[in-house]
Amino acid sequence: MKNRLKELRAERQWSQGALAEKLGVSRQTINAIETEKYDPSLPLAFKISVLFKQPLERIFEPGQT
Amino acid sequence: MTNPNLHEDDKKQSCRTSGTQEFLRSLQLNAWLAVSAATYVATLFLNRRHPGWSPAWKATVALMPILPGLLYLRNGMQLLRQMDELQRRIQVEAWLFAALGTVVVSTIINVFNGQGLNGNWPAHGLEIGGTYMTMFLMWSVGVTIAKLRYR
């Protein structure tokens, strides 16, 4: 699954650690999502969606990982 | 405008913190495994030193490492529930790798023993201590593989 997490995070000038803290996950999880090695669970995806105030489909889109 | 390399100090600090937490978590997870291994060595020593003990008492002593082994499992499950979803996936993959790896090693040893082959492997299978040690080694390999995969 492709995502715009890195782009959205950079727009807000947040570090991976800061974003991880806001979402209650580890920095490694954020890094793995950004590099598209790991697809987040639905609850985490919704948390990301709420945090960035964007609908899910504008952050995540289907694609080969 | 978009600079993902911002807050490098923050990143480094975060890495250090998560590294320390990870080390402490691993230490906590494996503390009961170390106790199990120590208990196993102690029971071997006791049973060899006291050959006159009744079979029932010998069996009781020999099964003692099971108790810290169960506490290890309980501790592992508790820690698993506290982890975030990626860490949990890494641990579950590592545990699966450890369980299947131990089954394979145990089967190979039993097949060799069944065929009457003599080597440097245990004559009665892995036994309790060998099973714990094999599982720990396989878990370490599994965690390393999973971490490299999601790095």
Please tell me the predicted confidence (pLDDT) of residue A63. 76
Residue-wise pLDDT tens digits, B30-48? 788 788 888 988 998 998 8
* pLDDT over 50 (residue B9): no
Q: Which of A10, A32, A40 is opposite residue B150, by nearest beta carbon?
A: A32
Better-predicted residue by pLDDT, A46 or B3: A46
Orientation angle between helical segments B127-150 and B8-49, nearest 10 degrees: 170
DSSP symbols for A21-47? HHHTS-HHHHHHHHTTSSPPPHHHHHH
| Pair B85, A44: CB distance under 8 Å | yes
Which two three-digit tokens encode residue A2? 């492709």
Q: How far does the CA of residue B102 sit from the closest CA of chain A (Å)? A: 27
Residue-wise pLDDT tens digits, B111-139? 888 888 777 777 777 777 788 889 889 99
Partnered with residue A60 across adjacent β-strands are: A3
Please tell me the predicted confidence (pLDDT) of residue B117. 79
Instruction: Report phi then psi at A14, rounded to 5.
Output: -100, 145
Please tell me the predicted confidence (pLDDT) of residue B19. 65
Nearest CA among B141, B149, B26, B33 for reference residue B94:
B141
Please tell me the predicted confidence (pLDDT) of residue B25. 67
Which two three-digit tokens encode residue B117? 């082959």
Q: Is the Cβ pair A15, B2 closer than 8 Å?
A: no
Q: Is the Cβ pair A29, B84 closer than 8 Å?
A: yes
Please tell me the predicted confidence (pLDDT) of residue A31. 94
**pLDDT averaged per 10 residues in sequence order, chain A, 65 residues:** 94 95 93 94 96 94 72
> What is the percentage of chain B residues whose pLDDT exceeds 70?
83
Q: Which of A9, A11, A14, A28 to mutate to test the interface with B (most CBs of B within 10 A)?
A: A28
Please tell me the predicted confidence (pLDDT) of residue B69. 85
By the 10 Å C-beta count (0-12 exposed, 13-18 middle, 19+ buried), B58 is classed as: middle
Nearest CA among B63, B133, B70, B140 for reference residue B105:
B133
Better-predicted residue by pLDDT, A53 or B8: A53
For residue A20, what is the nearest residue in chain B, using CA coordinates?
A: B14
